[in-house]
Amino acid sequence: MPPLPYRIVHELPGRIRARIPPLARSGVGEILHSWLERQDGVEDVRINRHARTLVIHYDPGLVSRKEILVRLVAFQPQSRTELDAQSESNDATITPLVRNLLTLLLLPLLPRPAQHVVTYLNIGTKLLRGADTLIHQGVKIEVLDALAVGLSAGRGKLYTANATDFLLTLGEYMEDRTQQQSDRSLRRLLRPVPTTAWVERGGELIQVPGDRIGTDETVVVGVGETIPVDGVVVDGVALVNQAAVTGEDVPVAREAHKRVVAGSVLVEGRLRIRATRVGEDTTAARVARFIRTSLDQPSETQRLADTLADRRVYLTLGAAAAVYALTRDLTRVQSVFLVDYSCALKLGTPVAFKSGLYQAAKHGILIKGGEAMERLAEIDTLVFDKTGTLTETVLEVTDVVVLDRKCGHSEEGLLALVASVEEHATHPLSQAVVEAARERDLQHISHGEVDYLVAHGLSAEIRGGRIIVGSRHYLEEHEGIRFSAHAARQAALINDGKILLYVASERGPMGLIALRDTVRADATATLGRLRTLGIDRLVMISGDRREKAEALGRALRLDEVHAEVQPEGKAALIEALQREGRRVGFVGDGINDGPALVAADLGIAMSGGADLARASADVVLTDDRLLAVADAREIALGTLSVIRTNFNATVGINTAIMAGALMGRLSPVASALLHNGTTLAVLVKALRGARPTGTVKLG
């Protein structure tokens, strides 16, 4: 495939304008737009298909001119599979504005017949569009604009007609640019998956296309390289920048057994990664699909705004008819026609929602459209599944209790002994014990062959004796070793919500190792913020024993705790809350959370959740922060607040403009200027969106 032909027309530092003949072909513009915008350091891309030109704004500190041009030459229209959108580029063009401005400058210099010709050539597009809208869609704002401009021209007020057309065109251009900026902001969250990656195959390190990596293959990533897959670190230590996927600005440390996501960039170190998700299954690819799906789902607020906007067009038409019947003043009629409620109402709402989606995605939160955002703002009860949500999935050792001092072991000695045996097992309890010994730098103790009884425990010969580790049921029922003499000590640990690992020798009990779920570091802060954000009932569902679940509930000051709940019972508990009149959100991460996520008014899936949980949820967290739940709520409330404020401002200000037009206090030009100014102010406020103010970065 030959390189893309181009010719640089003009350039400044950080800006290149090029003429590219293939842009005349349908579809090429949008694909090239997406292809270039994904380059790190590219700030803006504008394409004019008719002029066959491309303008690139870039940050010279992040990307060089040469790198921009290399990427431009490498573009091949027939081979692009990474296209985000499938339609033709709709970049707002400045050509109509230039035409309008030239007309206004030339008009006073032309004889009267020529002024008529130039005026109708200039406003012809608006008149034709108004007629087409009337025929195919009925009375819309385009019809009113055409009537206002046409009346001025028909009455011989040519300068007024052209000035009004210029203001209307300027407003449309700015509205289009604002709309495109909101879409572009969302697309910028996505980064390209690298075209090549280093993979270990047959004992060698080879470079392969990124989309040819298989699941469970080992990928090697070095400094400055982009991680091409979702996976688990097998070996190495590195700092990883996940900003492109999760919005987390600060690089995070990644080492063995930690999860990494595609699209992250290695800042320092080197990693060997086992691929768990590749190609279209990676987090980055799913984020792209999720955002595209979100934009196609209008909310009830948006549908209501569209309906009210259409009704306001008839209000404007009726007011114009009434003022003409009473005054026969066509100038007033023109001024009334130019009062447009619909633009700000119709555009402000989706732009606000898109800005909210963008801000949420920047903070590691994917919200499935405006409707989901509305429900997020409306819930008053939030139900958390305990494991993996309020707690980490990793257990930690909290207590090492020596029950028999005659055994000759201290607490550290007992932990070292148990860890030496448990390192041969893969159970989470075993891994937690081994990790605790490693953190204390305890030495390995030699032992004989380990016998492992699935779901019960294990044993091994050690120093001429036998050590047995496992559940109380295993030791008492299978090995005949009783722990009843230490019931008080056991009860105290269990009441604190801890899991007990029992240790014994053939002579009797040796000790207890207590473990518990690691409560997320941000759990308390998250729950506190949620209460300030209007969630008045916080509930936890757990399959754990009642004592353990209630201990955690007390620590986190939850309103309700439901313990020993079977997976199928979660949805029933949510439905019971809904029957009380509650609007319920559910936060979970497991496969068995799917029914609860669907039953709730709003489902939120954690970042490490199962695919089924993510598919069932209305909100998916890509950043492993529980605080992201509170961020999501704050963004949703803020977005709805922006929409309400804009709606009230639009109706109030345009009604005042309407009153001025009806009383003859505003000329058509003044009416158009005030209306467009109001619309742009509303869109700018909507574009700024709602930002979470209480984000706390931990770790």
Residue 127, exposed/middle/buried by CB under 10 A (0-12, 13-18, 19+)? middle
Residues 132 and 51: their CA atoms lie apart, in Å, by 26
Q: Which residue has the higher pLDDT, 156 or 188?
A: 156
pLDDT, residue 153, reads 78
Q: How much is the average pLDDT of 112-122? A: 87
Residues 491 and 497: their CA atoms lie apart, in Å, by 10
Question: Which residues belong to the active site?
Answer: 385
Tell me the per-residue pLDDT of 274-296, one tens digit each, with 9 for 90 and over: 999 887 777 666 655 655 555 55
pLDDT, residue 380, reads 95
Strand ranges for 337-488 from DSSP E: 365-367, 381-385, 391-402, 450-453, 457-462, 465-470
pLDDT, residue 577, reads 93
Bridge partners (DSSP) listed for residue 620: 366, 605
Tell me the per-residue pLDDT of 396-443, one tens digit each, with 9 for 90 and over: 899 999 888 777 778 888 899 899 888 877 667 788 899 899 988 888
Two structure tokens written together for 247:
């919005």
Tell me the per-residue pLDDT of 54-100, one tens digit each, with 9 for 90 and over: 888 888 877 788 878 877 776 655 444 444 444 434 445 677 878 88
pLDDT, residue 532, reads 94
Residues 211 and 64: their CA atoms lie apart, in Å, by 27
Average pLDDT, the chain: 78
* Closest by Cα among 95, 116, 13 to 46: 95
Q: Is the pLDDT of residue 697 over 50?
A: no
Two structure tokens written together for 562:
């439901």
**Which of the residue ranges 231-240, 495-504, 571-580 would you say has the lowest mean pLDDT?**
495-504
* pLDDT category of residue 393 using cuts at 50, 70 and 90: low
* pLDDT category of residue 483 using cuts at 50, 70 and 90: very high
Angle, CA of 493, 570 and 524, to the nearest 5°: 50
Report DSSP state, residue 226. B
Two structure tokens written together for 491:
């009860």
Q: How many CA atoms lie within 13 A of 647 on its CB side?
A: 18
pLDDT, residue 297, reads 56
Tell me the per-residue pLDDT of 609-621, one tens digit each, with 9 for 90 and over: 655 556 667 888 8
pLDDT, residue 538, reads 96
Name the 3-class secondary structure at 288.
helix
- Cβ density class 82-100: b for 16+ within 10 Å, e for less: bebeeeebbbbbeebbebb
Q: How much is the average pLDDT of 380-398? A: 85
* Closest by Cα among 699, 683, 614 to 289: 614
pLDDT, residue 306, reads 60
Contact 241, 191 (CB under 8 A): no
Tell me the per-residue pLDDT of 15-32, one tens digit each, with 9 for 90 and over: 998 888 887 776 677 667
pLDDT, residue 77, reads 54
* Closest by Cα among 266, 275, 283 to 191: 283
Greatest CA separation for the chain: 117
Ordered by where they begin, the domains of the chain are 7-85 (3.30.70.100), 95-186+294-353+636-688 (no CATH), 196-280 (2.70.150.10), 392-518 (3.40.1110.10), 527-624 (3.40.50.1000)
- pTM of the prediction? 0.61
pLDDT, residue 299, reads 53
Q: How much is the average pLDDT of 528-547? A: 89
pLDDT, residue 194, reads 46
Strand arrangement of the beta sheet that strand 457-462 belongs to: 391-402, 508-519, 499-505, 465-470, 457-462, 450-453
Report DSSP state, residue 485. G
Two structure tokens written together for 395:
């257990």
pLDDT, residue 637, reads 93
Contact 494, 500 (CB under 8 A): yes
Helix axes 300-327, 141-154, angle to 10 degrees: 30
Residues 69 and 572: their CA atoms lie apart, in Å, by 59
* pLDDT category of residue 542 using cuts at 50, 70 and 90: confident
Tell me the per-residue pLDDT of 667-693, one tens digit each, with 9 for 90 and over: 877 877 787 777 778 777 877 777 777
Tell me the per-residue pLDDT of 245-255, one tens digit each, with 9 for 90 and over: 554 545 677 88
Distances in whole angstroms, Cα of residue 133 to Cα of each of 88, 145, 150, 320, 472: 22, 11, 15, 19, 79
Which among 35-44, 490-499, 671-680 has the top mean pLDDT?
Answer: 490-499
pLDDT, residue 673, reads 78
Residues 227 and 440: their CA atoms lie apart, in Å, by 33
